[in-house]
């Protein structure tokens, strides 16, 4: 298989990491790629660094700062490939990433392939997802519980976008999780156990926990899939209340965590679960 793969890279003020990230894409053993860098309004030297790289496969697009969902969507809408891959501007792909994953698409019933990745956080390294075996096939209800797919590990068919749409630009957190839930409802998914991406996390990065923002966006995702969640109360408790309680206690928001425990108890005892679940 030698189909064109469009690699979408959103970036914002990543002058210290964008070049290494791009090099890891340009050095892929799978060569038939286009690289679309969407600069989401950077104010540092990111633009000059990208434009100084001499590679005709790179398309650089600069837009006003609208967030990562808009940036990824801009990349998707400007892509020409039969397949779309996502990379972050501070992560590193292993050289064989695309080659390994593209071989998986020989089975046409699958719409998306993802892989294991190294999560690197303040010199600590862990391999994700932490699964005894990768979740693949029909994973819709598994994804409703939690997101175990790393966005920079993903390749999907262009037809998936045509059927499932693009990223929800109203979400500025969990936007990738919501997108993968939507895709998994329509397509089977494949997993590569081999680690193919090094993903870097920092306390100041997009993964920093903001309790109000996190709960607000989690509420939106639950609402989009409310019937499937509430048809399985144990799944809902795990995906929603227990998730929020864990995040709050991890972030040392102990009073808020106790408050959500009270919400959980009220929900369990409620006779009108469809109208009593939301944490305000």
What pLDDT is stored for residue 206 in this prediction? 45
Q: CA 67, CA 51: separation in Å to the nearest integer?
A: 22
Mean pLDDT confidence for 119-132: 77
CA 188 centroid distance within chain = 17
Q: CA 193, CA 133: separation in Å to the nearest integer?
A: 8
Give the number of residues written for the chain.
280
Nearest to 151 by CA among 235, 90, 209, 100: 90
Q: CA 147, CA 131: separation in Å to the nearest integer?
A: 12
Mean pLDDT confidence for 170-199: 95
Q: Are 86 and 151 in contact (CB under 8 A)?
A: yes
Q: CA 222, CA 230: separation in Å to the nearest integer?
A: 9
Interval 224-239: pLDDT, tens: 888 888 888 878 888 8
Give counts: helices (H), strands (E), the chain.
12, 9
207 sits in the region (left: phi over 0; alpha: psi -120 to 50; else beta) called alpha
Residue 146 pLDDT > 50, yes or no? Answer: yes
Q: Are 279 and 257 in contact (CB under 8 A)?
A: no
Q: Are 134 and 193 in contact (CB under 8 A)?
A: yes
Share of the chain above pLDDT 70, in %: 95
Q: CA 174, CA 162: separation in Å to the nearest integer?
A: 21
Q: CA 248, CA 256: separation in Å to the nearest integer?
A: 7
Q: What residues contact 248, with CB distance under 8 A and at least 6 apart?
A: 211, 254, 256, 257, 260
Residue 209 pLDDT > 60, yes or no? Answer: no
Residue 150 pLDDT > 90, yes or no? Answer: yes
Interval 56-86: pLDDT, tens: 999 999 999 999 999 999 999 999 999 999 9
State residue 163 phi and psi, 5-degree precision: -90, -40
């Amino acid at each position: 298989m030698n189909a064109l793969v469009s690699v979408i890279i959103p970036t914002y003020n990543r002058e210290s990491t964008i070049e290494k990230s791009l090099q890891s894409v340009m050095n892929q053993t799978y060569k038939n790629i286009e690289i679309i860098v969407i600069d989401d309004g950077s104010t540092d030297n990111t633009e000059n660094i990208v434009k100084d790289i001499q590679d005709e496969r790179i398309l650089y697009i600069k837009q006003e700062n609208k967030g990562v969902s808009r940036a990824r969507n801009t990349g998707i809408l400007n892509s020409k490939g039969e397949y779309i891959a996502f990379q972050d501007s501070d992560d590193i792909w292993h050289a064989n990433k695309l080659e390994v994953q593209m071989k998986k698409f020989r089975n046409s019933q699958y719409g998306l392939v993802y892989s294991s990745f190294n999560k690197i956080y303040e010199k600590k390294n862990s391999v994700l997802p932490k699964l005894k075996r990768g979740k693949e096939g029909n994973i819709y209800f598994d994804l409703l519980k939690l997101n175990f797919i790393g966005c920079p590990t993903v390749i999907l068919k262009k037809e998936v976008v045509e059927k499932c749409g693009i990223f929800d630009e109203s979400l500025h957190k969990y936007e990738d999780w919501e997108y993968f839930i939507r895709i998994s409802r329509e397509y089977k998914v494949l997993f590569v156990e081999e680690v193919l991406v090094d993903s870097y996390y920092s306390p100041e990065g997009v993964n920093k926990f903001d309790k109000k923002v996190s709960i607000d966006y989690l509420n939106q995702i639950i609402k989009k899939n409310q019937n499937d969640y509430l048809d399985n109360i144990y799944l809902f408790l795990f995906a929603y209340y227990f998730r929020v309680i864990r995040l709050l206690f991890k972030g040392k928001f102990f009073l808020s965590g106790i408050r959500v425990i009270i919400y959980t108890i009220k929900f369990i005892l409620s006779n009108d679960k469809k109208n009593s679940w939301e944490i305000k």
